[in-house]
Amino acid sequence: MTVLYFEDFALGQKFGSGWFAVDAAEIKSFAAEYDPEPFHLDEVAAAKNAVLRGLTASGWHTASITMRLLVESEFRPAGGIVGFSADEIRWPRPVRVGDELRVETEILHVRPSKSRPAYGIVKIRTTTFNQGNEPVQILVSNLLVERRSG
């Protein structure tokens, strides 16, 4: 897979990914460690939740799975994926047991870094889709990417 330097990125480029299958055991084990709420831990309690209506993955679990898909995707910036901020995260619908997720990443903006001359800043939108092609997460984030000349 080709490593991409700052100079290689341009507005509108898109990158795909493989798939990640979400099962109940992983939803519960992530939640037990990092987001121990009944609607992420237990099917019966989750079914009673009027908003979520059934076991759902923590939003931070979805964000973490998204990162895994991104790291293993065609999107391969020089120096690795070093995000320093996000402008937005939305979780428009829950991730449920049996969902299969993939990501699409689009380049929104590129600019040199003022404080780090050997780097540029690349703004990306990473949309996480389920098997029904419905977005489950939209993330706009800012990455430090090495310059070729750097």
Binding flag, residue 145, a second copy (CB under 8 A): no
What does residue 38 show for φ and ψ, rounded to 5 degrees? -55, -35
Q: Could you tell me the two tokens for 139? A: 């993330």
Among 3, 14, 21, 36, binds a second copy (CB under 8 A): 36
* Angle between helices 59-71 and 24-34 in degrees, nearest 10: 110
Binding flag, residue 18, a second copy (CB under 8 A): no
Count, residues near a second copy per rule CB under 8 A: 41
Among 49, 74, 104, 125, binds a second copy (CB under 8 A): 49
With beta carbons less than 8 A apart as the criterion, state whether 142 and 123 touch: yes
Residues 99-118 that bind a second copy (CB under 8 A): 116, 118
Binding flag, residue 58, a second copy (CB under 8 A): yes
- Binding part of the chain for a second copy, among 6-14, 54-62, 101-109, 125-133 by CB under 8 A, reads 54-62
* Dist CA 87 CA 17 (whole Å): 22
Nearer to a second copy, 9 or 30 (CB): 30
Among 24, 54, 71, 111, binds a second copy (CB under 8 A): 71
* Residue with token string 């898909």: 69
Burial class (CB in 10 A: 0-12, 13-18, 19+), 60: middle
Max Cα–Cα distance, the chain, nearest Å: 57
DSSP 133: S
Binding flag, residue 44, a second copy (CB under 8 A): no
The contact set with a second copy (CB under 8 A) reads 30, 33-39, 49-52, 58-61, 63-65, 67-68, 71-72, 79-92, 116, 118-119, 144
